[in-house]
Structure 1
Amino acid sequence: MARVIFYTATTLDGYLADEADSLDWLFAVPGGEGGDADFQTFLDGIGVLVQGSTTYQWVLDHEDLIAHPEKWPAFYGPRPTWVFTTRELPAVPGADVRFAAGPVTDYWSQIREAAGHLDVWVVGGGDLAGQFVDAGLLDEIRVSVAPATLGAGRPLLPRRFGADRLKLTDVRRNGQFAELTYAVRS
């Protein structure tokens, strides 16, 4: 059965993006561009990606993917990607991008089927990951904490969690980042 994993980076004060929805803070930290061996191993176990419209729009704009769709595989490979949105967004030419509007539970059977025996990666943002939590579908949170603060912006996970819902299962250092892995209990 596919697991659902929210794997992201956050600032020390718990923000995914700044107030302008930018991730520039992340790329200012050495190693923030990702791509280490552990991340590649993680990616090898992923069958489907899920992301919110703001995350998708940022990647489109930051990498100019509509004009350069050949860059898409470097980020996500051939995996199907569901984008949860309430607005019209362009699809990256040649990429398997599927737009969804409504609750994650309405699309869960399609997502699970497309993932097969591999896992589902909730790329971002925090509110979408929270919707998976609310539906009882999120199995794991993997967060790389960067040595940076923003003071405001998009929160890591805009939900209230008690210690009874999260169990720390791994801690590792990756350059300037501390990676924490938590199992999510329903």
Structure 2
Amino acid sequence: MTRVVFNTATTLDGYLADDQDSLDWLFAVPGADDAAAAFSGFLAGIGVLVMGSTTYEWVLAHEKLVEHPEKWNEFYGDRPSFVLSTRDLPLLPGAPLRLHSGSVRELWPDILAAAGGTDIWIVGGGDVVGQFADEGLLDEVRVSIAPATLGSGRPLLPRRIGSDRFRLESVGQRGQFAELVYSVRPPA
């Protein structure tokens, strides 16, 4: 059965990225290699990626994908990838990318069909995850908490979602990261 999973890392104070949308803080955490090794097992069950425009633009810039589009497949493979954006963004030659400017609900049949029974990874950001949660389409949140604080930046999930919708399923340690896994119930 297809599940929609938000798998991400956050700081102790709940930020995904700093005020400049950078994830450099994440790569500076000791033990990040341990967390990355566990991530490949997660990625093996993923058939579709969904991300917002800010996340996509960060990946393009950080990995220099416009100059080296082949690097997309090195990490994400040939998984269909949906980018939610109200702006025109560059698409990478050979990468299975689709831009969408409408609601998550409108796009849901296409995402589900592309998944073909595999899981869907909401790569980021927090607002995209919030849209899935609002529609009752978010099944799981996997968050790795890093021993760092930013003071401000992009929040983990910029929505109010009551504790009655989350159920703690597991707690683990990956290097310096604490990993929490929550199942998510649809809104009442």
Same fold (TM over 0.5): yes
Equivalenced residue count is: 185
Q: Which amino acid aligns with 1:71?
A: K
Q: Give the RMSD, CA atoms, in angstroms.
A: 1.0
Q: Hey, what does 2:36 align to over in structure 1?
A: 35
Q: 2:172 is paired with a residue of what secondary structure? A: strand
Report how far residue 156 of structure 1 moved.
0.1
Q: 1:164 is paired with a residue of what secondary structure? A: helix
Q: 2:128 is paired with a residue of what secondary structure? A: helix
**Structure 2 counterparts to residues 120-135 of structure 1, below 5 A:** 120-135=120-135
Q: Is the 8 A contact 1:18 1:153 kept in 2?
A: yes
Q: Hey, what does 2:154 align to over in structure 1?
A: 154
Q: Hey, what does 1:44 align to over in structure 2?
A: 44
Displacement over 2 Å in runs of 4+: 30-35
Q: 1:142 is paired with a residue of what secondary structure? A: strand
Instruction: Provide the identity percentage.
Output: 64
TM-score, with length taken from structure 1: 0.97
1:99-142 deviation digits (Å, cap 9, x = unpaired)? 00111011100100100110000000000000000000000000
Q: 1:183 is paired with a residue of what secondary structure? A: strand
Q: For structure 1, which runs of at least 5 residues remain unmatched after alignment?
A: none
Q: Is the 8 A contact 2:32 2:175 kept in 1?
A: no
**Structure 2 counterparts to residues 102-117 of structure 1, below 5 A:** 102-117=102-117
**Equivalents in 1 of 2:50, 2:100: separation in Å?**
10
Report how far residue 70 of structure 1 moved.
1.6
Q: 2:58 is paired with a residue of what secondary structure? A: helix
**Equivalents in 1 of 2:136, 2:181: separation in Å?**
18
Q: For structure 2, which runs of at least 5 residues remain unmatched after alignment?
A: none
Q: Hey, what does 1:90 align to over in structure 2?
A: 90
Q: Hey, what does 1:80 align to over in structure 2?
A: 80
Q: 2:163 is paired with a residue of what secondary structure? A: coil
Q: Which amino acid aligns with 2:25?
A: W
**Equivalents in 2 of 1:51, 1:32: separation in Å?**
22
TM-score, with length taken from structure 2: 0.96
Task: Summarize the Cα distance change of 1:113–1:10 in structure 2 as closer, same or farther, 3 Å threshold.
Answer: same
